[in-house]
Structure 1
Amino acid sequence: MAFTDLLILFFALLFLRFWWRYWSVTGGGPKNLPPGPPGWPIVGNLGQVILQRRHFVFTVRDHLRAKYGPIFTMQMGQRTLVIVTSSDLIHEALVQRGPAFASRPEDSPIRLLFSVGKCAINSAEYGPLWRTLRRNFVTELINPARVKQCSWVRKWALENHMKRLRREASEKGFVEVMSNCRLTICSVLICLCFGAKISEDEIKKIESVLKEVMLITLPKLPDFFPVLTPLFRKQLRQAKALRNKQLECLIPLVRNRKAFVESGGNGGPEMASPVGAAYIDSLFGLDAPGRGKLGEEELVTLCSEAINAGTDTSATTLEWALLHLVLDQEIQEKLYKEIVEHVGKDGLVTESDVEKMSYLGAVVKETFRRHPPGHFLLSHAVTEETKLGGYTIPENASVEFYTSWVAEDPALWDDPGKFRPERFLVGDGVDVDVTGTRAMRMLPFGAGRRICPALTLGTLHVLLSLARMVHAFKWLPVPGAPPSPAETFAFTVVMKDPLKAVILPRV
């Protein structure tokens, strides 16, 4: 080989060495990013995550957090992710320095399609539009007076729920928990949003479409390589078709409600809430900064957001809670006795009753701790380059808060892997602040400025539904098919094998 060939080969190898080193280092260096796993050229850590053949949640939980500590960096294609896992750092970012970490990263074309360009509470950037949408939501849907005014909605939906459980148990010998709870919570939220009682078939259709929307908006390859977006035209066409399907489902409800409001409350029997009592009533005249009056697409997006966010999280929590009651009959019996003490064997559990049931509250809190609705918060973004934990957080980074670990940390909890509701009555859970304002030991609803605005309403739905179901039935495992606590990911972390249970009427 000629000398010039050797020289070319030497410089090529040297170039490749530095090129590899540049692309593979995710932390440290002159940028002072948090440490992280070495990546591959161009794709960073994305290829390694894909080869794990597990959802990203489980890779972080079972491997990366333990290896790289409370804050680490991953280069996922063109996106830099800073992942924060410790209680102290999450509190510093979201509470102590909330405004700096309160925005959202750029969205993919598919998510922008469904959010109508970030016109939604969850996806809007931190600023006037977000403040207006959130303030309106809190004022019009979850203030105490409105919650009390709409108590009939939960009564109606839960009556149908109990009838459906009895019918299904009679026909099959068991009930499927998740599908029934999803349908009931979805029916409540549809009525709260549109003020309408609609048929079970219509509710199922809307629920199915909105679940498809959640799944299609989960992160995909173009999220990490925006440069490749033009290659995914087929997926964008599928998303547009689903968006049209979503609009076809919900625009009739929007128009019916608008006609009802404009007529001063004259409408068909479908319209069950008086003018002003439905969430969408407040949106018809809302002047959104940078948007003006909202169109039908924006109205569909905002109502879909409320229904989606509340349905999946509440139904998932109910399924996990009932799993533990099925597996531990002693806990179930203790809960049943408390319910009977308050309403008797033949009474009806009301919303004011569940507020007084301390053990019921402990069971639900322990479910939130052991099985938080989301293991990660929705992605955050910093408004400008800042510091956290002594490291630099660049302006274009996505900041991911892995909050599930906070509730699993043995430094914060005694025997954290055990389901023990009593810890919230006499133990390490007494006076725990689930909002994370004072200190972070569990964060089922997030924290800081982006905390879930409907946390009180969602908790009420879980408390009331669980109390009604335990009061009416004894929950037992299906003979020969004990339930498994194995997990999988479907927008939230859910049971891999949906819970089936035998229910026996209380006598």
Structure 2
Amino acid sequence: MILIHILLLCLAALFLRLGWRYWSATGREPRNLPPGPPGWPLVGNLFQVILQRRHFIYVVRDLRAKYGPIFTMQMGQRTLVIVTSSELIHEALIQKGAVFASRAPDYSPIRLIFSVGKCEINLAEYGPLWRSLRRNFLSELMNPTRIKQCSWIRKWSVDNHMKRLQDEASRVGYVEVIGNCRLTTCSILVCLCFGVKISEDRIKAIERIIKDILLMRTPKLLDFLPVLTPLFRHQVKAAKELRRKQMECLVPLIRNRKAFVESGGHPNATTSEMASPLGAAYVDSLFKIEPPSRGRLGEEEILTLCTEAIVAGTDTSATALEWALLHLVQDQEMQEILYKEIVECVGKNGAITESDVEKMPYLGAIVKETFRRHPPSYFLLSHAATKETELGGYTIPAGVNVEIYTKWLTEDPEMWQNPSEFRPERFLTGDGVDVDITGLRGVKMLPFGAGRRICPAWSLGTLHANLLLARMVQAFKWIPIPDHPPDPTDTFAFTVVMKDPLKAIILPRQN
């Protein structure tokens, strides 16, 4: 009985503290926040959303219809301002990009475990640390010289990908797209980050851990009520155990690469798996960088930054490829048009290079239409204002979560003709011809974000999607499994994926 009383007193104290924070944030003085649904005391709209038992995007769609293109939700200790219209998104991310370039304070103990106190490009608040990390990433991985220097990595991984598809088709009669594409993009990014060629089994182990981390970091009740952290100790304990496994899996790659660098690039028994020359791996730059407020990075920070690069590029590219192939399987005429373009450019058996895909407009149109019709996520990562500012005639306080809902952009009939149709031609002669996917000239689709927080590897992800799709269509004709047509129903994981993963029969092209 005494223990129960103690527990009740603790809960009361926690909720009083939560109530004080909520009142402090919302009740001191009237603020011109965007309108929004009335909430419950202390927890706002949090339990109202949970009790609906449907995904958050459907709640947002309903609220948009009621409150307009910008509205406010109080989710526990977090104030969310939801922005949904093209004009307001462009105003926030481009016209006022510097003001909305930060991240809201994140007190989730689980995310802080995996980000080492937000030492990530995506999560770091706008300031010197973020600038230093992002500048280093762009100069080391995204400059044209480095992309050309690392073309052999893509060729090696894509060649393995094609062999794996053939083997799987001969064993079971069909191939599963998403698993193979994830494995290949992950292998490319592991090699880009650590400069190594490692076995497929080790790549699979890395991929499994990354998938577990993504699931662990998805929004949970604890994220909106961090004041209740003591009641969720088992989740925090599980996160720490997963972090330990991540360290065991990836730190040896960091240490081996460091030994390789310190030896002047001379491989030995320990570093024999090193394949990239000195300076060509992303991790090489992390050994030298000393970002503001951090100094020389330790193994945990280096691990976090490399994992971030692998995570960001693996699922987004693989998911795009699955959706693109879904439409090619369903529309054989579209697939034949693409195949003819590939043959005209490089021949039936010619090698496809980075420069070749730039000469294939229909290929590019298919990938762009895939990003439009099936964006990797329906929200961007949360933004936050660096200071109190105005948006759409409303006051946006500094530090609140500004959530950019991008799915509506691709569904808006005022911006797209027949938006529910998959029509690559719209990017050749239609309403997509002048679309800028970076959002600078206007916002019609944002698969990679926009402004200062645009995904720094967006061009690399697009390149990987183009290369893999071209190679797969050049080598194979993709057809549905008899009596098992693909189901386009989507579901929500880290990215928006097919609920029933795409399986297809592949027929080798005639030489």
Structure-2-length-normalised TM-score: 0.93
* CA–CA distance in structure 1, aligned partners of residues 487 and 70 of structure 2: 32
3-state SS of paired residue (1:425): helix
3-state SS of paired residue (2:350): coil
3-state SS of paired residue (1:421): coil
CA offsets, 1:232-290, max 9 Å, x none? 11100000000000000000000000000110111143100000000000110101100
- 1:307 corresponds to: 310
**Which of 427, 430, 433 in structure 1 is aligned with 2:430?**
427
On the 8 A contact 2:103/2:399 being kept in 1, the answer is: no
* CA–CA distance in structure 1, aligned partners of residues 49 and 34 of structure 2: 19
Aligned residue type for 1:468: R
On the 8 A contact 2:182/2:318 being kept in 1, the answer is: yes
- 2:97 corresponds to: 98
Q: Which moved more, 1:390-399 or 1:199-208?
A: 390-399
* Match runs of 1:199-210 below 5 Å: 199-210=199-210
* CA–CA distance in structure 2, aligned partners of residues 249 and 400 of structure 1: 34
- 1:360 corresponds to: 363
3-state SS of paired residue (2:412): coil
1:114 and 2:118 equivalent? no
- 1:240 corresponds to: 240
- 1:159 corresponds to: 159
Aligned residue type for 2:420: G
* CA–CA distance in structure 2, aligned partners of residues 149 and 405 of structure 1: 39
CA offsets, 1:192-234, max 9 Å, x none? 0000000000000000001111111111112111211111111
Aligned residue type for 1:254: I
* CA–CA distance in structure 2, aligned partners of residues 439 and 361 of structure 1: 20
3-state SS of paired residue (1:399): strand
* Match runs of 1:439-454 below 5 Å: 439-454=442-457
* CA–CA distance in structure 1, aligned partners of residues 185 and 500 of structure 2: 21
Shift of 1:57: 2.4
* CA–CA distance in structure 1, aligned partners of residues 86 and 407 of structure 2: 10
**Which of 306, 319, 323 in structure 1 is aligned with 2:322?**
319
Shift of 1:395: 2.0
- 2:16 corresponds to: none
* CA–CA distance in structure 2, aligned partners of residues 89 and 78 of structure 1: 25
Q: Which stretches in structure 1 are left out of the alignment for 5+ residues?
A: 1-18
* CA–CA distance in structure 2, aligned partners of residues 481 and 106 of structure 1: 47
Aligned residue type for 1:31: R
* CA–CA distance in structure 2, aligned partners of residues 473 and 132 of structure 1: 44
* Match runs of 1:226-305 below 5 Å: 226-267=226-267, 268-305=271-308
Aligned residue type for 1:174: Y
1:213 and 2:213 equivalent? yes
3-state SS of paired residue (1:205): helix
Q: Which moved more, 1:126-135 or 1:224-233?
A: 224-233
- 1:64 corresponds to: 63
- Shift >4 Å, 4+ stretches: none
1:494 and 2:497 equivalent? yes
3-state SS of paired residue (2:135): helix
Give % identity. Answer: 73
Shift of 1:82: 0.2
Aligned residue type for 1:93: A
**Which of 319, 324, 332 in structure 2 is aligned with 1:329?**
332
Q: Root-mean-square deviation (CA), in Å? A: 1.5
- 2:188 corresponds to: 188
* CA–CA distance in structure 2, aligned partners of residues 474 and 60 of structure 1: 40
- 1:40 corresponds to: 40
* CA–CA distance in structure 2, aligned partners of residues 286 and 125 of structure 1: 18
Shift of 1:38: 2.2
* CA–CA distance in structure 2, aligned partners of residues 176 and 52 of structure 1: 33
- 1:178 corresponds to: 178
- 1:390 corresponds to: 393
Q: Which stretches in structure 2 are left out of the alignment for 5+ residues?
A: 1-18
On the 8 A contact 2:480/2:486 being kept in 1, the answer is: yes
CA offsets, 1:128-166, max 9 Å, x none? 000000000000001100000000000000010000000
Aligned residue type for 1:82: V
Structure-1-length-normalised TM-score: 0.93
- 1:506 corresponds to: 509
- 1:8 corresponds to: none
1:54 and 2:54 equivalent? yes
Shift of 1:299: 0.5
